[in-house]
Structure 1
Amino acid sequence: MSDSEQQADAPVVVAGAGPVGMTAALALDARGIDSTILEADPEDRDRPGSRAIYVHKDTLRTLEQSHPGLGQRLVDNGITWSTRRTLFRGKEVFARTYPDRGGDGGLPHFTSLPQVWTEEYMLDAIEESDGIDLHWDSPVDTVDASDDGVTVETEGGDVWEAEYVVGADGAGSTVRKEIGAEFDGTESPNSFIIADVDEDPDNPRKQERVFHYDHPELGGRNVLFVPFQGGWRVDIQCRESDDPERMAEEPNINRMVATVLGERYRDRVTWVSEYKFKQVTADRMVDDRNRVLLAGEAGHLFAPFGARGMNSGVADADAAASAISVALNADVRETADGEIAEYGIRRQKAAEYNRAAAGQALEYLQGDSIVTKTKKRLAAELADYYEPAGEWLDDAPYGPHEGPPVTIGQY
């Protein structure tokens, strides 16, 4: 082993310093358990795009419990918009403004801010915590679990001996591959274009979430735009026949944004991405030795409807910390193994539920069946006379609100 390589012990190694990995480390720290985070990216990593902007109340509560003040900091630096509007082929079919932010325990139902801000605040919390050791430029290369623990080696040759490992290293997870877990699921046949747009500080729009069915000025494509602190997220659903790369080119996306938000936003696009949504879950969330736990996108990928991605990953991370805490304090090996195995069962069921829920919304938006089309058209016609019809049109694109039946939190 060279001088640049090291061998060290840690009760828990967390692979990945995204929101899920950092939540796991903070949740372990709150339970008195030290951890080491191994992050592949450098400390000055570039994280473009707003990405996961919508932070649910359950996530805020988890972060607040794991590091007092953290959830509140997200609320203080985010926004909670109170108006929802839905239009069908240019005609408004639903509008509602809520009198307050709702929520309980001092936390609102949600807050909306760029993910990079969330990560910044979580990094600050980690720096304030004595029990978390974060290593940048440390991509995990191998994970070798036994009955006695786990050996983790990085691509740089550093070796870590741990009791447990939390794999929160994203969609391309090395940890998932190392334990032999595989993704199973589908991919949307059409693409989506997502753009971040800076707010116009001299003439800001009203903070409201607006959904267009069949936007008449965008060729009948579905369009969502929603505010976050400092800007807007614009989401355009492409047809299968569209060329999404061409649509995402600067002149084209600028024109579409100007159509949707107003001419003054034409040159305020800061980031654009086009991709197809994957609906996949790992065939297991825990290794055969009950030593390695997957969390977040290492274990599942969902379409974004209902904001189930990061929020469900945070629920995974907190549940993993709880299971590991019980396992580390168990007097009997069978008890420890049973706790980790139970985590795997519960979080896989939760992932499968969230995949189905997001898929239900995706099918609703994309469905070409005559039944789906007829239901939406009739609801739009009834909306002027029967408010629940408009409310259904407003709510249906997000899937069911109920959380997985096997979890305490919503996601």
Structure 2
Amino acid sequence: MDPVIVVGAGPVGLTLALALARHSVPTVVLDEGPGKDEQRAARTVILRDDTAALMERLTGHSFGDQESGARWGGWRSLRRKQLMRELTFSDEVPAPLHVAQHVLTGALRAAIADERLVKVAVESKLDSLEQDAGGLTAHTRGPKDTWWRGSYLVGCDGPRSTVRKLLDIRFPGRTAVERHAVAALRTELPGPGEALLHRMPPWRHGGAEVTGRPLAGGVWRIDWLLPPRGELVTPDALVVRIRETLAGWCGGSTPPYELLDTGVHTVHHRLARRWRVGRAFLAGDAAHLLGALGTQGLDEGLRDADNLAWKLALAWHHGARDALLDSYQAERRAGVAARLRAADQSLPILRGGAGLRSYVPGSARGHDTLLTDGHVGRGPLGAPGSYAESPLAPAPSESEVAVATEPGAPVADVPVTAPDGSFVRLRDRLGVGQLLVVLVAPGTVVWERRHWVKAGIMPRLAAAVTALPHPAELLVAESYPGAAAHSVLLIRPDGHLVTALGGVRPAELYTAAEAAVGGAAPKRRAESPGTTEKAESTAAGSGPTTQ
């Protein structure tokens, strides 16, 4: 088959290409630019625990090493001069990862440079797209006009997506929901390593809200909430804001600082009507825009890539399952829509001015809780979405048991024993196209694997896993939050729980696995020898034709 065409070489497009390569699917990335990223210290991304783990798994790079990124030690929120809330991050409360965007894309590009299944075509701007029963044909302009043939195409080409326009998909929503003045600077502040949200600071030019978030190397990103319209941020005005804010946080005197970068960040809220048209899909900012109240659009874009990669890989290798491919829009659009609704419902409460709400007891703490959730990744504003209503969810079974993770939600990252007897993290086994089956078996950690692998229920469970309709890996966990002994968890390749069963239930496990991959496998058409090799050759650069 022909490779998957990914349009756009930002973090989402590069992540999708790398994830597809991990599933042994060749891709061509159409990069409109020169293949390099502008280094802007004020353009940063905040990744929650699940997406940070995805980036480290795909790139093999540890971003929390204080050279490339920073994991916050804590979070403080203040209102005027009063401390309203303080959090300390730990294994139970994972810290967000804050990293410059060019560092993230640089790590993705470095990983792709060593990946033979990915070809990046620079200075290639898409200008036409045609679909047929067997695939797609895309045309790009650049130093050479080029035709590209692909099996599927994914538009990861940002808010002004050419793919979305060529597919004639509407992109309704709200413009300029929030505006922020942004500065990146190197300095020393109280509470090193702790992020800070300050509402209604007591100095003159503090504005309604200012946020300070640490980066690697003693760098901070500071954001000031601006009025929705009107106020221009001149360089002199921004310097005044910087000096007054630093003085306010440092006891009245401005500490030495080095200004690295500045900008104005405008937040829009939009959601594409459709995310799939035939063999073409949208992901990332091409499909949705969000970011008010601390929510993170790139975080959601990376989840798009993780969700779509294994589904496209299954279709590429085994034939298209429409139910599986349609589930991408059903799951991801619903998740982003829920977050947009939560933000839009909270905005009038948090940004609606004074009035009677200011005098309601406890209202300030309630507002602070909403904002904290958005910034640290909790609650309706910040927590990863669940696919409980997914079309891939299996029918209810009497064998189901409750665990701390609801069906459809991301699983907890617990230690597990792999088939070779090694001890690994559960998330380390994700992203290679397999289902995961986890047996909760207390006591196994104190015995060598050879003593229990053929004992008790293990042989029966291993046989059930071997018989599943899709390749699966059997793992064993000493414990899982909320799970009783001998619970069996079925997990999708993107780390979302399908179901938890009480004991070994081969029939129920098979039914749930079949539902999770979109139903019974379709019949593949006969392919000539060398089809896969030809697709890999196309990814390496021999496929397109030039004019």
- Assess same fold via TM > 0.5: yes
Which residue number in structure 2 is paired with residue 254 of structure 1?
239
> Matched residues in 2 for 1:173 and 1:126: separation?
23
Q: Tell me, what secondary structure is at the counterpart of 1:252?
A: helix
> Matched residues in 2 for 1:306 and 1:220: separation?
17
Do structure 1's residue 141 and structure 2's residue 127 form an aligned pair? Answer: yes
> Matched residues in 2 for 1:88 and 1:303: separation?
22
> Matched residues in 2 for 1:281 and 1:292: separation?
17
Counterparts in 2 of 1:140-219, with a 5 A limit?
140-156=126-142, 157-188=145-176, 191-199=179-187, 206-217=192-203, 218=205
Which residue number in structure 2 is paired with residue 85 of structure 1?
76
Shift of 1:319: 1.3
Alpha-carbon spacing, 1:25–1:220, altered in 2? closer, same or farther (3 Å): closer
> What's the % identity of the aligned pairs?
25
Shift of 1:390: 9.2
Q: Tell me, what secondary structure is at the counterpart of 2:14?
A: helix
Do structure 1's residue 353 and structure 2's residue 338 form an aligned pair? Answer: yes
Alpha-carbon spacing, 1:293–1:397, altered in 2? closer, same or farther (3 Å): closer
> Matched residues in 2 for 1:154 and 1:354: separation?
35
Residue identity in the other structure for 2:351: Q
Do structure 1's residue 54 and structure 2's residue 38 form an aligned pair? Answer: no
Alpha-carbon spacing, 1:257–1:101, altered in 2? closer, same or farther (3 Å): farther
Q: Tell me, what secondary structure is at the counterpart of 1:206?
A: coil
> Matched residues in 1 for 2:339 and 2:357: separation?
21
Alpha-carbon spacing, 1:305–1:86, altered in 2? closer, same or farther (3 Å): same
Which residue number in structure 1 is paired with residue 100 of structure 2?
114
> Matched residues in 2 for 1:163 and 1:223: separation?
47
Shift of 1:392: 2.8
> Matched residues in 1 for 2:112 and 2:92: separation?
29
Q: Tell me, what secondary structure is at the counterpart of 1:224?
A: strand
- Alignment: residue pair count: 377
Alpha-carbon spacing, 1:298–1:135, altered in 2? closer, same or farther (3 Å): same
Which residue number in structure 2 is paired with residue 271 of structure 1?
261
Q: Tell me, what secondary structure is at the counterpart of 1:345?
A: helix
Q: Tell me, what secondary structure is at the counterpart of 2:386?
A: coil
> Matched residues in 1 for 2:170 and 2:259: separation?
37
Which residue number in structure 1 is paired with residue 63 of structure 2?
74
> Matched residues in 1 for 2:240 and 2:221: separation?
15
Encode CA deviations 1:320-341: one digit per residue, 9 max, x unaligned: 111111211334x5x2x33222
Counterparts in 2 of 1:316-395, with a 5 A limit?
316-331=304-319, 333=320, 335=321, 337-368=322-353, 370=355, 372-375=357-360, 378-380=362-364, 392=369, 395=372
> Matched residues in 2 for 1:315 and 1:254: separation?
37
Shift of 1:391: 6.7
Of 250-259 and 164-173, deviating more is 250-259
TM-score by length of 2: 0.63
Residue identity in the other structure for 1:237: L
> Matched residues in 2 for 1:265 and 1:361: separation?
35
> Matched residues in 2 for 1:13 and 1:59: separation?
23
Which residue number in structure 2 is paired with residue 5 of structure 1?
none
> Matched residues in 1 for 2:199 and 2:7: separation?
40
Shift of 1:355: 1.6
Shift of 1:315: 0.7
Counterpart selection for 2:55 from 63, 78, 90? 63
> Matched residues in 2 for 1:390 and 1:43: separation?
43
Do structure 1's residue 225 and structure 2's residue 212 form an aligned pair? Answer: yes
Point out which structure has higher relative CO (alpha carbons under 8 A, 6+ apart): 1
Of 56-65 and 231-240, deviating more is 56-65
Do structure 1's residue 127 and structure 2's residue 127 form an aligned pair? Answer: no
Shift of 1:394: 6.1
Alpha-carbon spacing, 1:96–1:44, altered in 2? closer, same or farther (3 Å): closer
Residue identity in the other structure for 2:369: W
> Matched residues in 1 for 2:288 and 2:92: separation?
30
Shift of 1:116: 0.9
- Do the aligned residues in 2 keep the contact of 1:361 with 1:397 (CA within 8 Å)? no
Alignment root-mean-square deviation, CA: 2.8
TM-score by length of 1: 0.83
Gaps of 5+ in 2: 248-252, 388-407, 412-495, 497-547
- Do the aligned residues in 2 keep the contact of 1:102 with 1:109 (CA within 8 Å)? no
> Matched residues in 1 for 2:228 and 2:283: separation?
32
Alpha-carbon spacing, 1:396–1:408, altered in 2? closer, same or farther (3 Å): closer
Gaps of 5+ in 1: 1-8, 384-388
- Do the aligned residues in 2 keep the contact of 1:25 with 1:35 (CA within 8 Å)? yes
